[in-house]
Amino acid sequence: MKRKYIYMLAIGLMSFAGCDSELDQEPFNALSTGQAFRTPADFQNALRGAYAGLRGASYYGGQDAGSMIITPDILSDNLIINSQGRFSQQTLYQLNYTANNTWNIWNNAYTTILRTNYILENINNLPEGAERENVKAEALGLRALAHFDLLRLYAKRYIGATDADLGVPYVTSTDPTQKPSRTPLKQAYDLVVADFLAAEAGINATNGVGRLSKAAVQGLLGRVYLYMGQWQNAVDKSTAAINNAPAANALASRTEFPSIWTDATEKDVLFKVRILDTDATPVVTVGVGYQQTVNGLVRAEFSPTCELVRLYAPEDVRTTTYIGESTYGGLTSKYVKKHVGRGTGALNVVDVKVLRLSEVYLNRAEALYNLGAGQHAAALADLNEIRSRRYSNFDPATAVETGTDLYNAILEERRLELAFEGHRFFDLKRLGLPIERSATEGDASDCSGVAAPANARTLPADNFRFQLPIPQAEIDANKNIIQNKDY
């Protein structure tokens, strides 16, 4: 690991500023480990620092520098760069990134991992009991999530991987001199699962908004198992998450659904990164990567592709919740309105939804389908549970797809439901599907305008660019890190 990522305890223990003002603590400033981890309050403060790591500019908290919310759609077929925007992330959109010019999630994710490891290395300073087990479980869950996110980006897809394929370093130490090599991909996934399973065993049913809970950990485990192609495990953990989801986080009705995106309800949200108006700087104004308001006009940075827009039906509540239309610079185009803010307070500031219960249902539906024909009825039931809450004219008697039609319906509903939430690139990758962009449809609402450039219209499923390059600075700092092939 680069030494600049782990050079002092003070950075690893920065307070969770701005996320729960009544819980803010004084930050630690270069305290020794013994001083920093003495009381339950110390550990709670350190946990806030770990959660705060998720808000990093290249992680869940940022946009223009790349983040887990917008960038996977920029890299896929859900968004088209708008000719009236600022051309941010143009290199990523054109799929011509290099190790010196790419999405650098590496730093932010390993900062989060560092902070969790400080907690875990000192956890025995807490008295035995439920509080210690919960603190340990939250740290383990965050460590697993950060490593899984790194694996999704920098490693090959799990299904079809060999024992020789490389993952990312699975770091469990705070040793500032370590220079770890890349953990084999399958071993790294096993370590993610082990951390999540350990977290599941000790974590509270609820820990408050913006923190992991039992249902959240189980839902994330279901997601990991889906990526691994372990269908029964994906079903089992998704079912556990559904059964353990608190009533406050139950599936939203069609009427409640728009309120999710203004943070007016916690329905359907199992885990999110909290972002308040006091965090409203360029790195945590979540919606600004999609659009900006200039002199009262909405300027689209990226627009939903015509292909995606056509999939949304007029009677689908997501159509108007997710997508708006505006004219800027003489161009009328669609824009993403899912993250524009809460209606009051700072523009484009909204909590980042990392895991929703709707995804858990769709994860289970896909896994059930893959278990075979005997589970297809159950897969259809999960699919219809989501569709019944999105379409005003939904009739389950007519929604009776079977076979390949059912599978395609599950994947299409997943794309519609999770658009602009950081899933599309990873879904294409794990499913072994190519990126295909239109050569004729452009950035205007009527599908005219500027289309994707010729060199960025297709990325075959086996192309090396589905594994992003490890940042060159990391390669330079750690001689044990091997770059991804062909970079």
Residues near 388 by beta carbon (within 8 Å), at least 6 away in sequence = 394, 396
The two three-digit tokens of residue 191, written as one number:
């370590």
CATH (domain of 402): 1.25.40.390
Within 10 angstroms of residue 34's Cβ, the number of other Cβ atoms is: 9
Question: Is 414 a domain residue?
Answer: yes
Question: What's residue 283's pLDDT?
Answer: 63
DSSP string, 20-69: -GGG--PPP-S--HHHHSSSHHHHHHHHHHHHHHTT-TTTTT-STT--TT
User: Measured in whole angstroms, how far is the alpha carbon of residue 343 from the centre of its chain?
Assistant: 24
Question: What's residue 284's pLDDT?
Answer: 78
Within 10 angstroms of residue 10's Cβ, the number of other Cβ atoms is: 14
Residues 90 and 197 in one domain: no
Residues 328 and 182 in one domain: no
Which helix H or strand E contains 80, and what residues bound it?
strand 79-81
Q: Answer yes or no: are the C-beta atoms of 232 and 364 closer than 8 Å.
A: no
What is the model's pTM? 0.93
Question: What's residue 281's pLDDT?
Answer: 66
In the block, tokens 């956890």 appear at: 123
Question: Is 74 a domain residue?
Answer: no
Residues 23 and 88 in one domain: no
Q: Angle at CA 303, nearest 5°, toward 297 and 309?
A: 115
Question: What's residue 63's pLDDT?
Answer: 59
Number of structural domains found in the chain: 2
Phi, psi of 335, rounded to the nearest 5 degrees: -140, 160
DSSP state, residue 287: G
What is the b/e burial string over 439-457, where b = at least 16 CB atoms within 10 angstroms of the residue's CB? Answer: eebbbbbebebebbeeebe
Q: How far apart are CA 310 and CA 344, in angstroms?
A: 31
Question: Is 476 a domain residue?
Answer: no
Residues 154 and 277 in one domain: no
Question: What's residue 319's pLDDT?
Answer: 98
Reported in sequence order, the residue ranges of 377-476 that DSSP labels E, i.e. its strands, are 435-436, 458-459
Residues 343 and 400 in one domain: yes
Residues 199 and 318 in one domain: no
Residues 148 and 4 in one domain: yes
Question: Is 340 a domain residue?
Answer: yes
Per-residue pLDDT of the chain in tens (487 residues, 90 and over written 9):
444 443 333 333 333 333 333 223 333 333 456 678 999 999 999 999 999 999 988 899 875 655 899 999 999 999 999 999 999 899 999 999 999 988 889 999 999 999 999 999 999 999 999 999 999 999 999 999 999 999 999 999 999 999 999 999 999 999 999 999 999 999 999 999 999 999 999 999 999 999 999 999 999 999 999 999 999 999 999 999 999 999 999 999 999 999 999 999 999 999 999 998 887 666 678 888 999 999 999 999 999 999 999 999 999 999 999 999 999 999 999 999 999 999 888 888 999 999 999 999 999 999 999 999 999 999 999 999 999 999 999 999 999 999 999 999 999 999 999 999 999 999 999 999 999 999 999 999 999 999 999 999 999 999 999 999 999 999 999 999 999 999 9
What residues make up the domain containing 343? 82-96+248-463
List C-alpha distances in Å: 383 to 251, 269, 309, 380, 433. Answer: 13, 18, 20, 5, 21
Q: How far apart are CA 253 and CA 183, in angstroms?
A: 43
Residues 154 and 263 in one domain: no
Q: How far apart are CA 370 and CA 41, in angstroms?
A: 46
Residues 9 and 33 in one domain: yes
Question: Is 163 a domain residue?
Answer: yes
- Using left for φ > 0, alpha for ψ between -120 and 50, and beta otherwise, residue 348 falls in left
Q: How far apart are CA 34 and CA 21, in angstroms?
A: 26
Question: What's residue 66's pLDDT?
Answer: 57
Question: What's residue 1's pLDDT?
Answer: 45
Question: Is 420 a domain residue?
Answer: yes
Residues 91 and 157 in one domain: no
Question: What's residue 8's pLDDT?
Answer: 32
Residues 262 and 139 in one domain: no
Question: What's residue 278's pLDDT?
Answer: 81
Question: Is 153 a domain residue?
Answer: yes
Residues 47 and 153 in one domain: yes
Q: How far apart are CA 41 and CA 63, in angstroms?
A: 32
Question: Is 330 a domain residue?
Answer: yes
Which helix H or strand E contains 355, and what residues bound it?
strand 352-356
DSSP state, residue 199: H
Question: What's residue 67's pLDDT?
Answer: 87
Question: What's residue 7's pLDDT?
Answer: 31
